[in-house]
Chains A and B, each alone.
Chain A
Amino acid sequence: MSRRKGVRRNRILLHVALTIGALLMIVPFVWMIVSSLKSHAEITAFPPTWLPADPRFSNYPEALQFAPFGRYFINSLLISIGHTSINLVVAVMAGYSLARLPFRGRTVIFLAILAAMMIPTYSKIVPQYLLAKNMPFFGGNDYLGRGGQGWLDSYWGLIIPGAVTPLAIFLFRQFYLALPVELEEAARLDGMGEFGIFAKIMTPLIKPAIATVALITFESSWNSFLWPLIITTRDDLRVIQVGLAAFQQTDATLWEYLMAGTTLATLPMIALFLLTQRYFVQGLASTGIK
């Protein structure tokens, strides 16, 4: 009887601790929402106010009118979906290959893929720009990639360059490594080809990893700023974060609009996260990450 009480008390303590932690996690976000409902004068008022005296919901439509956010939203969506789908398909195959199929030089290639994560963005950005611009046969380029503008100002340039990430390959590799070799062998005994084993037997067992990579890839595309800005000169190809950056001008920042815009931009990601939660439920996969 007392043991059950103890368990109950532990549960309550657990919930309290988790709640406090969760609140600490979201305090800045709450502040963001609260600020988004204030007028500019109120945000910079002294002494500062906690809650807006008169919530200005009009900040939201005003922020949206500041720049063509409808267009930006569509672009962000296209790019994020593009990145996520390509990454999932390509990285899952690569991860499987590195984990379960033997061939010479596999470890070296794996280390090379790890190394690919180790060059900072600002060093890569100019060479990547040149590679996109000098893409042969696109945008008026000849076979050597000269003369035209290649993939600049195009959806190719926006989507393809960042579509496959070493992180995803690494993650899939680790998950595939942990799957038992017996499954493979059993399938092979039945005459299944390698690709069939991969597609029908092994991959369905790592659904949590797939959901994780989908979330990570979508988020990083959704919030990406530098590459979409560099690769485009036209406003109708730009993305949400580039639009939000317009609220940060050289001599002033339009706080209320920046906060409103960012709040809106975060909502789709929250929805996506909640939707993928069913893949993080015990019992779906059968073996651990190795």
Chain B
Amino acid sequence: MVNLSELNVGRRGLLLGGLSAGVLGLAGCGGPAPKAAAGDESGELTVVTPIFEGNDGKQLLEKLMADFTKQHPKITVRADYTSYSKLNEKLTTSIVGGKPYDIMIMGAGWVPPFATKNVLMDLEMDKAKLAAQYNERVLSAGIYEDKVYGLPIMLDTRFGYYRKDFFEKAGLDPAKPPTSFAEMREFARKLTVRSGGKLTRAGLDILSLDIRQVFEPLMWAAGGELFTPDGKAAFNSAEGVAGLQFMADIILTDKSEDFGFSEPLAATGVPIVQGRAAMMLGHNNTWLEFEASNPKLITEDKVGFFVITDERPALLQGGSMATVAARTKLPNAAKALATYLASPEPALAACEQRGNVPAALSSADSAYVKGNEAVQFAVANLEYAYSEGGVPNWLDIRGDFKAAIESVLLGQTSAQKALDELATKADSKR
């Protein structure tokens, strides 16, 4: 009998090393799935989803699954509910374990990295036909190297909000939101209120969103781009720097907001809803915050929207896309399910549950869109939508934006330097 304690350290090390190598090796085993005949597939499809949370979401998804199964009786569907914050862990373990989920619902910007590594299946769909169902800008997030890998289910957008009542009080025309960076700064200066040195109302709140997603629409509005068509960093161009410089000016020069005044998902609430900010770069969901905390502002028509504009109008579009794993054993069934989830009715139900924007063109006339002003505004302006990502190394570089932008807003470095450093980093990871 092998007595572990009497094995000398060397032999024990070999044993453990061999075991671990073996485990990793076994995990890598498993070749590509055989292609089954169309319509002949039967089995279980697994879906991982960061949307459809809570009991409500689960009930909705189960109903959708039931409808799908009626049309495809040989297929059953099982869902794994997770959150966006843990989606990476779930995807990693499932991929490393050799059994990826058949359908993966993931964010915009994730498609190119996953597609390059052959994790996603080419859905082989006709782009022209799709363009009739979905806004082209919206579709682009799921397309990489001219192939369709992801179908949009829902979008979330970022654009400008403003308080018409504060505009009036400051002598500004409530029907005329700012149409350029210069105007934004000028209005913000007029709208900022400090009492005894303490900021009581920020003229323009740019800190209540993920700071990277504040920078991006400003950069696009200034005429810049994140990456060139062949994948090199382009955000440190003069236009990109102008976008970041605008943010620095708001915080450091004009002092229309102080760093730390607000932050994303703050428990203390959203400043514009509380009257602590007059304008804001916000999410279409901020509307729900108005509805929950201060609905009078809506009924009295005190809230307005605007698209960030300078050289051109730009709003940021993120979204959840349905993708199919390349290694799925039921390719046709999976494709059908992905298409179903992205089709107008199921997608609309999902959007309603979360207050997000439907991607399908036909949904623009739905009661839901008409009943939510922010969503309506987003749908009406989708032609100005840009999405982040688009390059295979996006996931490597997106996390570094925050520190770079913050160091500029804290006055630690200049906008040009910060973006140049970031660009060098991004290009080194290509």
Task: List the interface of chain A (C-beta within 8 A of B).
Answer: 40-41, 43-46, 48, 65-68, 103-106, 108-109, 125-127, 129-131, 133-134, 144-146, 149, 226, 229-230, 233-235, 245-246, 248-253, 255
User: Closest CB-CB distance, B179 to chain A, in whole Å?
Assistant: 27
Q: How many of chain B's residues touch chain A, expressed as a range? A: 35 or more
Q: Are A252 and B289 in contact (CB under 8 A)?
A: yes
B 15-37 contacts with A by CB, 8 A: 20, 23-24, 26-27, 29
B43 touches A (CB below 8 Å): no
Stretch from B78-86, B247-255, B305-313, B326-334 at the A interface: B78-86
With the chains together, A230 CA to B292 CA distance in Å?
34
- Can you list 23 A-B pairs with a CB-CB distance of less than 8 A? A41-B293, A43-B267, A44-B292, A45-B274, A48-B268, A66-B55, A67-B54, A68-B55, A103-B5, A105-B6, A125-B93, A126-B93, A126-B96, A133-B27, A230-B89, A230-B93, A233-B78, A245-B83, A246-B81, A249-B53, A251-B265, A252-B265, A252-B289
Interface centre among B50, B156, B265, B276, by most A CB within 10 Å? B265
With the chains together, A237 CA to B29 CA distance in Å?
28
Chain B positions 257 through 283: 1 when the CB is less than 8 Å from some CB of chain A, otherwise 0: 000000001011110011110000001
B58 touches A (CB below 8 Å): yes
Residue of B nearest to A251 (CB): B285
With the chains together, A125 CA to B94 CA distance in Å?
12
Of B24, B54, B270, B274, which contacts A130 at CB under 8 A?
B24
Residue of A nearest to B270 (CB): A44
B 325-384 contacts with A by CB, 8 A: 354-355
With the chains together, A129 CA to B98 CA distance in Å?
12
Q: Are B268 and A44 in contact (CB under 8 A)?
A: yes
Of B58, B292, B354, which contacts A40 at CB under 8 A?
B292
Closest 4 CB pairs of A and B: A44-B269, A46-B274, A233-B80, A41-B293
Which residues of A are found within 8 Å of B75, using beta-carbon distances? none
Which residues of A are found within 8 Å of B288, using beta-carbon distances? 252
B 41-73 contacts with A by CB, 8 A: 46, 48, 50, 53-55, 58
With the chains together, A245 CA to B90 CA distance in Å?
15
Which residues of B are found within 8 Å of A129, using beta-carbon distances? 93, 96-97
Which residues of A are found within 8 Å of B292, using beta-carbon distances? 40-41, 44
Which residues of A are found within 8 Å of B23, using beta-carbon distances? 127, 130-131, 134
Q: Are B90 and A230 in contact (CB under 8 A)?
A: yes
Which residues of A are found within 8 Å of B269, using beta-carbon distances? 43-46
Q: Are B27 and A134 in contact (CB under 8 A)?
A: yes
Q: Across the A-B interface, how many residue pairs have beta carbons closer than 8 Å?
A: 114
User: Closest CB-CB distance, B155 to chain A, in whole Å?
Assistant: 12
With the chains together, A40 CA to B290 CA distance in Å?
11
Other than the given A40-B292, A252-B288, 13 more pairs (CB < 8 A) read A44-B274, A44-B293, A46-B269, A46-B276, A67-B54, A109-B5, A125-B89, A126-B93, A133-B99, A145-B26, A226-B86, A226-B89, A246-B81
Q: Are B89 and A130 in contact (CB under 8 A)?
A: no
With the chains together, A37 CA to B376 CA distance in Å?
34
Chain B positions 137 through 174: 1 when the CB is less than 8 Å from some CB of chain A, otherwise 0: 00000000000000000001000000000000000000
User: Closest CB-CB distance, B392 to chain A, in whole Å?
Assistant: 22
Which residues of A are found within 8 Å of B9, using beta-carbon distances? 105, 108
Which residues of B are found within 8 Å of A66, using beta-carbon distances? 54-55
With the chains together, A282 CA to B352 CA distance in Å?
61
Chain B positions 293 through 330: 1 when the CB is less than 8 Å from some CB of chain A, otherwise 0: 11000000000000000000000000000000000000
Q: Are B83 and A250 in contact (CB under 8 A)?
A: yes
Interface centre among B55, B90, B276, B294, by most A CB within 10 Å? B55
User: Closest CB-CB distance, A105 to chain B, in whole Å?
Assistant: 5
B413 touches A (CB below 8 Å): no
B407 touches A (CB below 8 Å): no
B116 touches A (CB below 8 Å): no
B92 touches A (CB below 8 Å): yes
Q: Are A133 and B285 in contact (CB under 8 A)?
A: no
With the chains together, A69 CA to B53 CA distance in Å?
14
Of B5, B46, B48, B268, which contacts A105 at CB under 8 A?
B5
Of A68, A127, A230, A251, which contacts B20 at CB under 8 A?
A127
With the chains together, A202 CA to B20 CA distance in Å?
38
User: Closest CB-CB distance, A203 to chain B, in whole Å?
Assistant: 21
Residue of A nearest to B48 (CB): A233
Which residues of B are found within 8 Å of A103, using beta-carbon distances? 5
Of B8, B20, B50, B58, which contacts A235 at CB under 8 A?
B58
Which residues of B are found within 8 Å of A250, using beta-carbon distances? 50, 83-85
With the chains together, A248 CA to B82 CA distance in Å?
11
Which residues of B are found within 8 Å of A134, using beta-carbon distances? 23, 26-27
Which residues of A are found within 8 Å of B86, using beta-carbon distances? 226, 229, 245
Which residues of B are found within 8 Å of A149, using beta-carbon distances? 99
User: Closest CB-CB distance, A50 to chain B, in whole Å?
Assistant: 14
Of A48, A104, A226, A234, which contacts B5 at CB under 8 A?
A104
